[in-house]
Amino acid sequence: MRMIVAAVGIAVSWCSSAWADDQPCYGMPALSVDAGAVPHLATVTPGDRARFVKGSEQAGCPNGSAACAMRAFVVGGDAVVVTATAGGYACVTFTGPGPKAVSTSGLLLRARLGVPSPETPVNLSAAWAGTWRSGDEQTITIQPKPDGRIVVNGEASWGGHDPDRVKRGGVNVGDLAAEVSIDGGVVAFAIDDDGTTKPFDKLPADSDVCRVKLWRLGPYLVAADNLRCGGMNVTFTGVYRKIK
């Protein structure tokens, strides 16, 4: 059975961020709303299965040995999102189609990621519309408006996979609600403590208010936040796939 995973990798010339060799490739490293990192779309090149590789969580990895190889893989033609690179590897995420939209992040050889063609920014609100999911604890719904703006609503949680937390009501949650414009294929906004939508860059970077960026890349909606959009450990950061 093919295991679907999330991939994020790219050559230095078209990736603006890197991470330390000893930093595990969990989630989406370097994709902070204030770090200046920009996710990119890439396509896995033709050939054998491109297996994910264990990082620094296992001593001596990453390398090309069988000991570092993971079961998960992508195949030629799979679209992946790239957020960071280090040496010959890229930290990548691939999200499978709905309804589960399972995401997996990990290291891939950069040599298996084709250099992407320049993409036209997705500014048409209808292309953003739909319900987008990244796993079963992150959902973003977007509705287009006649004036070209979009209405963004999101729900995220942390701890929903822990039966004990669920039983004792210890699941942390967060939500988004904003009406915003698309600019150059990117949506960026802040949500003040009173729930009002604010311009993303009109608040200091160290502000405690929720700050969010969204990108439309190929089949994906990519999100990054500042970990201030809900309870402890709750984040909307992820690679989303449309489920309806």
Query: Where do the domains of the chain lie, and which CATH numbers do they carry?
Result: 12-114 (no CATH), 125-242 (2.40.128)
Q: Which two tokens stand for residue 81?
A: 């999102």
How much is the CA Rg of the chain, to the nearest whole Å?
Answer: 18
Percent of the chain with pLDDT strictly greater than 70 = 83
CA angle centred on 123, ends 216 and 182, rounded to 5°:
85
pLDDT score recorded for residue 216: 96
What secondary structure letter does DSSP report for 163? Answer: H
Whole-number pLDDT of residue 119? 75
Q: Tell me the pLDDT tens digit for each residue of 161-172.
A: 777 777 787 888
| pLDDT value for 138 | 95
pLDDT digits (tens, 9 = 90+) for 141-168: 999 999 999 999 999 998 877 777 777 8
Averaged pLDDT, 36-46:
86
Torsion region of 157: left, alpha or beta (phi above 0 gives left; psi -120 to 50 gives alpha):
beta
- Which of 111-125, 133-147, 177-191 has the weakest average pLDDT? 111-125
CA 234 vs CA 5, 11, 137, 181, 227: distances in Å: 22, 31, 9, 25, 7
Q: What confidence score (pLDDT) does residue 188 get?
A: 94
